[in-house]
A and B are shown apart, each in its own frame.
Chain A
Amino acid sequence: MMIAMPAIVMVIFGLALSGEVKNIPILVQNLDVGYEAQAGPGVSISVESGADLAEALQGDDSLRVVTGSYEDGVTGVDDGDYFAAVRIPADFSERLYRRMRGEDVDVVVDVYVDGTKPAIRASILGAVGDSLRSLGDGGGLEVAQVLAFGGAEYSGLDVSIPSVMGFVLTFLVLLISLIIINRETAMGTLQRLYTTPLTAFERLLGYVIALLVLGMMMSGVVLLVGVVFFQVTVRGSFTLLFISAFLYALTHVLLAVFLSNFARNELQAVQLAPIIALPSMALSGMLVPVNSLPDYIQPIARLVPLYYGNRVFEGVMLKGYGVGELSGDLLVISGMAAVFLILAAMTVKDRIDA
């Protein structure tokens, strides 16, 4: 295990982080009607610059372009399905043509973009800007950006707080739970408990309750420090955030109770936490959006609780989501908690050498 751990972590991080940011889902609507330009007497050329732009975007590796109506795109961004919606206006070809001829017209493309991931937002705006300039670099080409979720500019700190929550509730909860449960064996108290009327399931419940309180205290501290010292704003409801953190912590406490069966000593217990938590972070979308992961890894990412945890914490804290938008993710997290509870209950020991 001591040798396996760095290898596992390195392989997963390597695979997850090897590529550039790519396959960012965006929606593009091309309203451009084209333009018949009189290039000279009797010579007319027809331009379809909107289609050219759409094609350039399609060809950009960093993006995965879906076409549809801008309104759907905006809704999609608000719901977290797309990172941006792009609208190419009806007179795009005409304006671009006239601009190239030296007229003083602006060529504007509307972009409605998710600002909660600064790196992705920069990639999208960069890609749209590059595609636009590839059509002709006469200046005056503009991307009119509207930020989603109330238009707030998110600082690096703002956007990191949900990730810190996810990290604390994954890594620290696992680590502390595994250590505490292992101490019961190390101190010999487990052997005494086996002789009291306490049942194995009651003992399991005891661990879960105590460790949940600890997990909630830890996430409370993260929030408090964020809100009080760094003035981080939480857009959604604190109640929902509390419930989400509770559910998510529960999942990992139960996972830890189950995993504690596989840790024979404290050293192993301490190593199990990063073995689970580090790949979770790599796969959860916390560092790289899941869409950018290699195709064969994406389904695995969907099995990682932190993937859903991240969506929930970001949803509540940055996007102001309510139960409606998050019910799916919360349901998956609850389902995982149920699975871990069953695994933990099935494996919890009632005696020595069992």
Chain B
Amino acid sequence: MGDSSQVGLVIEAESLVKVYRQGGVRAVDGLNLRVRRGEIYAFIGANGSGKTTAINMMTGALAPTSGIIRVLGVEQPRNRHEVASLIGVAPQEYSLYQDLTVDENLEFFAGLNGVEQGLLGERAGELLDILNLRGRRRTPVSELSGGMKRRVSIACALIHDPEIVFFDEATVGVDPVLRQFFWGYFRSLAERGVTIVVTSHVMDEAERADRIGLMRAGRLIEEGTPSELKQRHGVNTVEEVFLKLSGGVTVDG
């Protein structure tokens, strides 16, 4: 891999642009981004500001219209197969097989990512304990509550012990107690060197990230640690920064 991974950069975006063919929306408009190994990076921004689009280009699920996006030193999506198993994704939708049980979903995505059968049971057990799903292993996903599905989705993103995880609004629908607990877990992952990129509309959640990127109309209009942002704008919470900068401006609004 390139020099970038040596200096600890795991995600590098340069002048990233995405114009959707359907509708022609300029969803991401010249995004520049650098995320270091072991960092928790939170995207915030109004609905339609381009967070999901940006993340999809990082995971290799979406090709940029122009610009360059490198993940672990590898250009996405052209060489995405080289790093795919090092990336974990919990998309904004649940993205689970509704007819399969929790265990079967985990087994399926683990298999696709090349997790050995012997390791699977252990990994699955560990994750389901953390995500408080142990009693639901044999339940079909369709019979789970919304928050439980979200947790299974997170488990599927982590089952292969990836180096980078993308959680697109991963904690929507998760109750406050569990959410608190998750963030503790995310932090422990980050300390082990796992890089975590999240999007969130919950500002006290964003407050726990190492760095925050605020998006508006496909651009990163503000970036920094939570305290930097608060200081820069002379406010006490990230929420106030968000309200001040996004000010209800939405792409589709």
Contact = CB atoms under 8 A, between A and B. Distances in A.
Given A189-B96, A194-B60, A195-B89, A353 B22 contact: yes
Contact of B85 (A197, A350, A351, A353): A197
Nearest to A192: B95
Nearest 9 interchain pairs by C-beta? A188-B93, A188-B95, A194-B61, A197-B84, A192-B95, A196-B112, A195-B59, A195-B89, A352-B62
A187 B94 contact: yes
Contacts of A351: 60-63, 77
Interface in A336-354: 350-354
Interface string B61-90: 111000000000000010011001101010
A352 B56 contact: yes
16 contacts: A187-B93, A188-B93, A191-B61, A192-B89, A192-B91, A194-B61, A195-B61, A197-B81, A197-B84, A197-B85, A351-B62, A351-B63, A352-B61, A353-B20, A353-B21, A353-B62
The secondary structure that dominates the B interface is loop
Contacts of A196: 84-85, 109, 112-113
A192 B113 CA distance: 12
A194 B87 CA distance: 11
Interface in B91-143: 91, 93-98, 109, 112-114
Nearest to A198: B112
A51 interface: no
Contacts of A354: 63
B95 A187 contact: yes
Interface in A159-206: 187-189, 191-199
Contacts of B91: 188, 191-192
Contacts of B94: 187-188
A171 to B, nearest CB: 23
A188 B150 CA distance: 13
B156 interface: yes
B63 A197 contact: no
A284 to B, nearest CB: 34
A187 B140 CA distance: 14
Contacts, number: 63
Interface residues of A, number: 17
Nearest to B141: A187
Interface of B: 20-22, 56, 59-63, 77, 80-81, 84-85, 87, 89, 91, 93-98, 109, 112-114, 156
B113 A187 contact: no
B63 A189 contact: no
B81 A189 contact: no
Interface in A283-303: none
B63 A192 contact: no
Contacts of B80: 195
Nearest to B113: A196
A199 B96 contact: no
A188 B109 CA distance: 14
B85 to A, nearest CB: 5
A187 B61 contact: no
Contacts of B87: 195
Given A192-B109, A351-B62, A351-B63, A197 B95 contact: no
A8 B89 CA distance: 43
B97 A189 contact: yes
A147 B165 CA distance: 72
Contacts of A187: 93-98
Nearest to B91: A191
Contacts of A192: 89, 91, 95, 109, 156
A112 B96 CA distance: 61
A187 B95 CA distance: 6
Contacts of B60: 194-195, 351
A152 to B, nearest CB: 45
A352 B168 CA distance: 16
A189 B113 CA distance: 15
A353 B63 contact: yes
A308 to B, nearest CB: 35
A194 B93 CA distance: 14
Contacts of B95: 187-189, 191-192
Contacts of A199: 81
B112 A193 contact: yes
Contacts of B62: 351-353
A186 B170 CA distance: 19
A350 B77 CA distance: 10
A261 to B, nearest CB: 14
Contacts of A197: 81, 84-85, 112-114
A354 B56 CA distance: 13
Contact of B93 (A191, A193, A350, A353): A191
Given A187-B94, A196-B112, A198-B112, 16 more contacts: A187-B98, A188-B93, A189-B97, A191-B56, A191-B93, A192-B91, A192-B95, A194-B59, A195-B60, A195-B89, A196-B85, A196-B109, A197-B81, A350-B77, A352-B61, A353-B21
